[in-house]
Amino acid sequence: MRPLSYARAADAGAAIALVAGHPEGAFLAGGTTEVDLTRQDVLRPGLLVDINHLSLDGVEDLPGGGLRIGALARMSDVARMPSVVDRFPMISQALVLGASAQLRNMASMGGNLCQRVRCGYFRDVTSPCNKRDPGSGCGALDGFHRGHAILGVSDKCIATHPSDLAVSLVALDAVVHTRGPGGERAIGIDDFFLLPGDTPDREHPLDHGELITAIEVPAVPVARRSVYLKFRDRQSYEFALASVAAAIRIQDGTVTGVRLALGGVGTKPWRARRAEAALFGQPADEGSFAEAAQEELAQATPQRQNAFKVELAQRAIVRALNTLTNGDGR
């Protein structure tokens, strides 16, 4: 690992000023991605500003049933909070199905949204990678890409967004609150993740020195009956090949509300808006679920090795909706 400097700021304002004032400055929260990738020489921070002792780890109930989750709350703590388990089971399940117990104890909620892709070419500094080294090419397109994305891809990058948590947050229209040198702002979660396009190196609309302070989850009554299903090569401690965050409301056999998002298949956490639109007003049966899933995946751009994900994602959607409609919604 390259030499680096370290500071603990007295408060959020000082932390922001320290990072903003150093061209190679970066915030350090749980460090589970950052320390790893710095050791791999993929990230090269000259100054790490430790924010772990800042008071940004609270979780508050919002009037009406929403939640405001501090950016430094840890994955393991949020996963077991009764307010999360009861009102947003898909968030709790997504958290518990991610990483390992040790990593969940370390990793922060804000950091989870900023985690970097697991593409082997991104992680290997001797390989071409447009995300790590713009203009150098993409090793995955003609290389090994079994785990790569089929939605939201470009000819510059097909790396899969790795977060489980973010998939549930995208389904729920969460809002990312930030504070930076220019003040505070709120970014809709879908806008927080950028498609790779021609600039895969730019993953978020954050400015240098802009700090995530909280994640706001609005009240979503349908989410009380929600699920996060994850399909992967190993039973545990593995990233998704495909995953689904789903919630559904049915009245008199008809779908009157639905939230669907996909993980493991997109270059960003993928809100399945086409499937949602296709389901609304339809009979809540497996035929409708399958048609909606097909509608969503019709826009997929698979590569040689990951074409299986098209059907896997469709089946995952159907399984999730069947799970919710055939009995207990957990």
Question: Which residues here bind another protein, judged by CB under 8 A?
Answer: 1-10, 14, 28, 31-32, 35-36, 38-40, 47-48, 50, 52-53, 57, 72, 76, 99-103, 105-106, 235-237
Give 234 or 304: the residue with its C-beta nearer to another protein.
234
Residue 230: strand, helix, or coil: strand
Tell the smallest beta-carbon distance from residue 280 to another protein (Å): 35
Give 35 or 290: the residue with its C-beta nearer to another protein.
35
Residue 47: burial class (beta carbons within 10 Å; 0-12, 13-18, 19+) = middle
Are the C-beta atoms of residues 165 and 94 closer than 8 Å to each other? yes
Contacts of residue 280, defined as CB under 8 A and 6 or more positions apart, other chains included, come to 255, 256, 257, 258
Do β-strands 59-61 and 183-188 pair in parallel, antiparallel, or remain unpaired?
Answer: unpaired
Give 102 or 299: the residue with its C-beta nearer to another protein.
102
Tell the smallest beta-carbon distance from residue 164 to another protein (Å): 14
Give 49 or 158: the residue with its C-beta nearer to another protein.
49
Query: Residue 271 forms beta bridges with which residues?
Result: 261
Query: CA 140 to CA 129: how far, in whole Å?
Result: 8
Are the C-beta atoms of residues 91 and 172 closer than 8 Å to each other? yes
Give 4 or 222: the residue with its C-beta nearer to another protein.
4
Tell the smallest beta-carbon distance from residue 47 to another protein (Å): 7
Helix boundaries (H) for the chain: 12-20, 34-39, 75-79, 82-87, 89-96, 101-106, 109-113, 120-123, 165-171, 189-192, 273-279, 286-297, 308-325
Give 35 or 222: the residue with its C-beta nearer to another protein.
35
Tell the smallest beta-carbon distance from residue 50 to another protein (Å): 6
Tell the smallest beta-carbon distance from residue 55 to another protein (Å): 9
Query: CA 92 to CA 57: how far, in whole Å?
Result: 17
Tell the smallest beta-carbon distance from residue 237 to another protein (Å): 4
Tell the smallest beta-carbon distance from residue 84 to another protein (Å): 17
Contacts of residue 102, defined as CB under 8 A and 6 or more positions apart, other chains included, come to none
Give 45 or 266: the residue with its C-beta nearer to another protein.
45
Do β-strands 226-231 and 183-188 pair in parallel, antiparallel, or remain unpaired?
Answer: unpaired
Tell the smallest beta-carbon distance from residue 162 to another protein (Å): 13
Give 14 or 219: the residue with its C-beta nearer to another protein.
14
Query: CA 12 to CA 329: how far, in whole Å?
Result: 40
